Amino acid sequence: MAELVQANWIFLVIALVVGLIVAWWIFVANRRTSVTLEKPEGEEAAPAKRNQALIDAPPAAAPKSDPGEDLPPVTPMGMAGIGEAVAAAARPIHVQGTHDDLTRIKGVGPKLAQQLQSMGIVHFTQIADWDDAEIDRIDAQLGRFQGRIRRDNWPEQARLLCSGDTAAYEAKFGKL
């Protein structure tokens, strides 16, 4: 093999140079793109026109401007709806931007808490209010964590954490 290379080295160098030129032409020279615009004579270059409808449109999700949006509902006249108003008033009011530490619930780790937050679940009161249909809906979205809501009884844990009854929580679910 060494004798073959010694006898034909000039042809190998020429083949290598030709190969490099072809490779350069394929990968570099053909990648250059030029754009030419045909403009009528006398027309000056103007700035790009913007879509004014998108500029003037209000934002898709307007920020909450009313700090009282998280207040409990107003009690209607008479006795109708009094139970809902009392239950809502008993729950703590959360300030916008604050979140409960969902990892305090047994069975919820940092990854699961992050997944719940991405679904908009950030307060214990949200979990405490879940019914069977809501549990099934959320559970179907948990992927590999599916089944933990009922197995670890998250709604009851959340109710105890909302109420601040640490003694009852620790008696039923263990030390916080």
Residues 122-166 have pLDDT tens digits of 999 999 999 999 999 999 998 888 899 999 999 999 999 988 888
Task: Report d(CA 73, CA 89) in Å as an integer.
Answer: 8
pLDDT score recorded for residue 166: 87
**Cβ contact 114:142 at 8 Å:** no
- Mind listing the domains of the chain with CATH numbers? 98-176 (1.10.150)
Task: Report d(CA 13, CA 87) in Å as an integer.
Answer: 87
Give me the half-sphere count of Cα atoms (radius 13 Å) on the Cβ side of residue 11.
5
Q: What is the pLDDT of residues 34-44, one digit of tens each?
A: 667 776 676 66
CB atoms within 10 A of CB 41: 4
In the block, residue with structure tokens 């009690």: 75
For 50: left if phi > 0, alpha if psi spans -120 to 50, otherwise beta; the answer is beta
Q: What is the pLDDT of residues 65-105, one digit of tens each?
A: 555 555 666 655 665 556 665 665 555 555 556 788 999 99
Give residue 10's pLDDT band: very low, low, confident or very high (50, 70, 90).
very high
Joined together, the tokens standing for residue 126 give 């949200």
Number of DSSP helices (H) and strands (E) in the chain, helices first: 10, 0
Mean pLDDT to the nearest integer, 22-51: 70
